[in-house]
């Protein structure tokens, strides 16, 4: 009888583990590049002051060979990059590219924009994988519309950032929090630290100074070294593991 109960308990535990693994697999929504659609941009507006495409929160512009994404909720440009060189043409993105360790292999970016930072990072031959987490599929669709053949090292996850943080088992050498909200989106930076490899680095892009100051004080209790610097209209926090 005891043996039967032990076997039964073991079977129940195995099924629970299988169920947890299945739930985990279903909760991380990785998009294959082929499954991402393209959008009908207004090609008549190329190199004009009119947008190529707009939806609820954003408008895509193309002027002087530079793509830019305008955030209608904050009245600020979110990101820019050159159509030919794919180089970032936005101050805080350039600052990250100057500061980040060049020997890293795995990167995760929270908030995709139009993909300027992933494109720039993909030029580093040391970097093997760039995971991008975005909750609005139209960001990925915009990216595919203007970049039909991006580097294969860029991967796309259609997820709420906090869900991804809780459920992902991946480890990264660098994480960039570019969720860019006027109020912070990420709930638990202790969990973000757990996603970093030892000696990993975290960059956080913010647009409100008071929020940045308050967040820095909280981050000092989690990371070994935290610094804050102004970058144009943004504030960039750098956290070392």
Which class does domain 87-240 fall in? alpha beta
Q: What distance in Å separates the CA atoms of residue 60 and residue 226, rounded to the nearest whole number?
A: 34
Q: Which residues pair with 172 in a beta bridge?
A: 196
- Write down the domain spans for the chain: 87-240
Q: Which residue has the tokens 């202790």?
A: 190
Q: Residues 74, 75, 81, 87: what is their CA dihedral angle, to the nearest 10 degrees?
A: -60
pLDDT at residue number 17: 42
Q: How far apart are the first and last CA of the chain?
A: 52
Q: pLDDT tens-digit profile of 108-165? A: 999 999 999 999 999 999 999 999 999 999 999 999 999 999 999 999 999 999 999 9
pLDDT at residue number 19: 42
Q: What distance in Å separates the CA atoms of residue 173 and residue 200, rounded to the nearest whole number?
A: 5
Q: pLDDT tens-digit profile of 172-215? A: 999 999 997 656 788 899 999 999 999 999 999 998 899 999 99
Give me the DSSP letters along 19-35: HHHHHHHHHS-EEPGGG
Which residues, in sequence order, are CB contacts of 122 under 8 Å at separation 6+?
130, 150, 151, 153, 154
Q: What is the pTM of this model?
A: 0.86
Helices (H), the chain: 2-27, 91-99, 116-121, 137-146, 161-167, 189-194, 209-219
Residue 8 has pLDDT above 80, yes or no: no
Taking residues 77-98, report their average pLDDT: 93
Residue 199, burial from CB neighbour count under 10 angstroms (0-12, 13-18, 19+): exposed
pLDDT at residue number 181: 66
Which residues, in sequence order, are CB contacts of 175 under 8 Å at separation 6+?
107, 108, 109, 110, 192, 195, 196, 200, 201, 202, 203
Find how far residue 130's CA is from the centre of its chain: 9
Residue 8, burial from CB neighbour count under 10 angstroms (0-12, 13-18, 19+): exposed
Q: What distance in Å separates the CA atoms of residue 146 and residue 67, rounded to the nearest whole number?
A: 9
């Amino acid at each position: 009888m005891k043996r039967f109960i032990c076997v039964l308990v073991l079977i129940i535990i195995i099924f629970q583990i299988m169920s947890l693994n299945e739930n985990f697999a279903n909760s991380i929504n990785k998009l294959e590049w082929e499954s991402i659609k393209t959008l009908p941009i207004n090609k008549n507006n190329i190199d004009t002051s009119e947008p190529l495409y707009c939806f609820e929160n954003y408008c895509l512009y193309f002027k002087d060979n530079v793509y830019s994404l305008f955030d209608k909720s904050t009245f600020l440009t979110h990101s820019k990059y050159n159509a030919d060189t794919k180089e970032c043409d936005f101050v805080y993105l350039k600052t990250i590219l100057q500061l980040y360790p060049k020997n890293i292999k795995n990167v995760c970016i929270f908030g995709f924009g139009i993909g300027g930072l992933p494109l720039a990072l993909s030029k580093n031959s040391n970097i093997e994988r760039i995971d991008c987490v975005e909750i609005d599929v139209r960001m990925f669709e915009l990216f595919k519309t203007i970049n039909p053949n991006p580097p294969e090292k860029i991967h796309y996850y259609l997820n709420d950032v906090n869900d991804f943080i809780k459920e992902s088992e991946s480890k990264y050498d660098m994480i960039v929090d570019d969720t860019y909200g006027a109020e912070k989106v990420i709930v638990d930076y202790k969990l973000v630290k757990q996603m970093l490899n030892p000696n990993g680095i975290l960059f956080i892009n913010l647009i409100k100074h008071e929020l940045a100051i308050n967040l820095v004080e909280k981050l000092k209790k989690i990371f070994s070294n935290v610094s804050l610097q102004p970058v144009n209209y943004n504030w960039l926090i750098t956290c070392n593991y």
